Chain A
Amino acid sequence: MNSAMISGESMPADSAISVVLPSVLQPLAGGQSILTAPAEAAVTVEWLLDAVTGDYPALSRRLRDETGAVRRYVNIYVNGNEIRRLQGLVTAVAPGQEVLIIQSVAGG
């Protein structure tokens, strides 16, 4: 299942959700910086990630491990809040919203 669409394709802004990728992950999404999924109503972050990474399994593995958990140093922001401070993967995202994926400050 993949209902993700490439950013810029014709889609009303209020019937889609965009996921913004950091530059380091864009090669794993065919060079795209934004992946967009159609959504008529609110969806969960988990549904959204499934939708936008369905055609990009290597990208999917960078974000979540085999158990489906978000990797420790991957941060996902909805309305400026990291989902670990919200409801995690079941955090709701409304049509028209933008989700940001940003790697956390880590490493030495």
Chain B
Amino acid sequence: MGRMATAESYVLAIGTKKGLWLATSRDRRDWSLSGPHFLMSEVPSIGIDTRDGRTRILVGVRSEHWGPTVFHSDDLGETWNEPENGAITFPDGTDAALERIWQIHPDADSRPGVVWAGCEPISVWKSTDGGEHFELNRGLWDHPHRSEWGAGYGGAAAHSIVVDPTGEKVHVAMSTGGVYRSLDGGTSWEPRNKGISAYFMPDPNPEFGQCVHKIAADAAVDGRLYAQNHHGVYRSDDDAESWESIAEGLPADFGFVMLTHPRRAGTAWVIPLKADGERIPPDGKLAVHRTDNAGASWKRLDAGLPEAEYNAVLRDAASVDGAEPAGVYFGTRGGSVYASVDEGEHFTEVASHLPDVLCVRAAVVSAALLPAQL
């Protein structure tokens, strides 16, 4: 297969209920799709690690029959490797078994080799060898609140991991349990949910127990986080010590997605759904909403999206790339995948009629990795 070394190219990994598809492009408009990889296994988590001079795609795969595991590919999916003894396995004494890998999160550029994972049952894991072997975070696993954490519809999992540039501040979100924060790199954890509603509990303002669907950090403001809750959209400016609503201006405060800009302060995206009891885009009209002022106002973005769409977008079925301007990507439970080269102003369809999209991740990669004919 010929190679051509030119400018930047892009890879979009699409994890679905029945396998993984990979899309590559030189302009983020015309995409070449390959797949399915791992046919008949769901792929709920993907991490694209472009550090250390290579592009490694890590995927959390789960077969209904054969269970969960982690594969990685260093050649854009031409070959896949599974560590012989499994990348994520619960150690003896925990009496637990891995159910599903919900999150694979390559750490900062300054910490090459470090990859985090969030899993079901609720657990956080850390790898220092590029995702080939993960260690269970004991501080969270042994947390005294564990017995009181619950399961959302999709299962009880740690699904969001946000690590600050120093590596000392780590925020995790779980459904249900809410946001937990560590200030010592993950050794100890405390709940940080003040201001986030848990309307479905007898006390709607508990210390923990919230069903936070996704959190993301502001790219440029230290201590600022955004959260899409099970009803409620929030911002914190103090490392999750307190949260305030930024839902005003959105058509609904329910949803799963929360994305932040790779570099610019105050920019975030959500994809609202009507309500807990009506998990469809409001009025059946799919739209992304972006704020450029940390939630003070929102702009509806639907150019290029279908007139009618009744499928939801799940928490990890959306991503941004690192390009300028940033690309925005998402996929629906109806198997449609959309890409925007201009931060959501216009979308084009990358794929349609795939199985339910569970996870989408995009990255800028070396053009030398792509086939020359693209």
Contacts and interface: CB of A to CB of B under 8 A. Distances in A.
Interface of A: 25, 57-58, 61-63, 65-67, 69, 71, 73-74, 103-104, 106-107
B40 interface: yes
A74 B66 contact: yes
B40 A71 contact: no
A65 B69 contact: no
Contact of A61 (B65, B67, B94, B96): B67
B66 A62 contact: yes
A63 B40 CA distance: 17
A104 B40 CA distance: 14
B64 interface: yes
A71 B67 contact: yes
A25 B65 CA distance: 11
12 contacts: A57-B84, A57-B86, A58-B82, A61-B67, A61-B86, A62-B66, A66-B94, A71-B67, A73-B65, A103-B66, A104-B65, A107-B65
A66 to B, nearest CB: 5
Contact of A66 (B65, B66, B90): B90
A61 B69 contact: yes
Contacts of A106: 64-65
A104 B66 CA distance: 11
A20 to B, nearest CB: 16
Contacts of A107: 40, 64-65
Interface of B: 40, 63-67, 69, 82, 84-86, 89-90, 94-98
B26 to A, nearest CB: 34
A65 to B, nearest CB: 4
Nearest to A75: B65
Contacts of A63: 66
Contacts of B85: 57
B97 A65 contact: yes
Contact of B97 (A57, A69, A103): A69
Rank and list the top 9 A-B pairs by shortest CB-CB distance, nearest first: A65-B97, A62-B66, A103-B65, A73-B65, A66-B90, A66-B97, A107-B64, A106-B64, A67-B97
Nearest to B97: A65
Given A57-B86, A67-B95, A107-B64, 15 more contacts: A57-B84, A58-B69, A58-B84, A58-B86, A61-B86, A62-B63, A62-B65, A63-B66, A66-B90, A67-B90, A71-B65, A71-B67, A73-B64, A103-B66, A106-B64
Contacts of B94: 66
Contacts of B66: 25, 61-63, 71, 74, 103
Contacts of A61: 66-67, 69, 86, 89
Nearest to B18: A107
Nearest to B63: A62
Identify which of A25, A71, A74, A106 gathers the most chain B CB atoms within 10 Å of its CB: A71
Given A58-B82, A66-B90, A74 B65 contact: yes
B123 to A, nearest CB: 12
Nearest to A56: B84
Contacts of A74: 65-66
Nearest to A74: B65
B95 to A, nearest CB: 6
B98 A65 contact: yes
A80 B76 CA distance: 44
A65 B63 CA distance: 13
B79 to A, nearest CB: 13
Given A57-B85, A57-B86, A58-B82, A65 B67 contact: yes
A58 to B, nearest CB: 6
A62 B95 CA distance: 18
Contacts of A69: 97
Nearest to A73: B65
B133 to A, nearest CB: 13
B47 to A, nearest CB: 21
B334 to A, nearest CB: 15
A58 B86 CA distance: 7
A25 B40 CA distance: 14
A66 B89 contact: yes
Task: Select the residue from A63, A65, A104, A106 with max chain B CB neighbours within 10 A.
Answer: A65
A76 B296 CA distance: 59
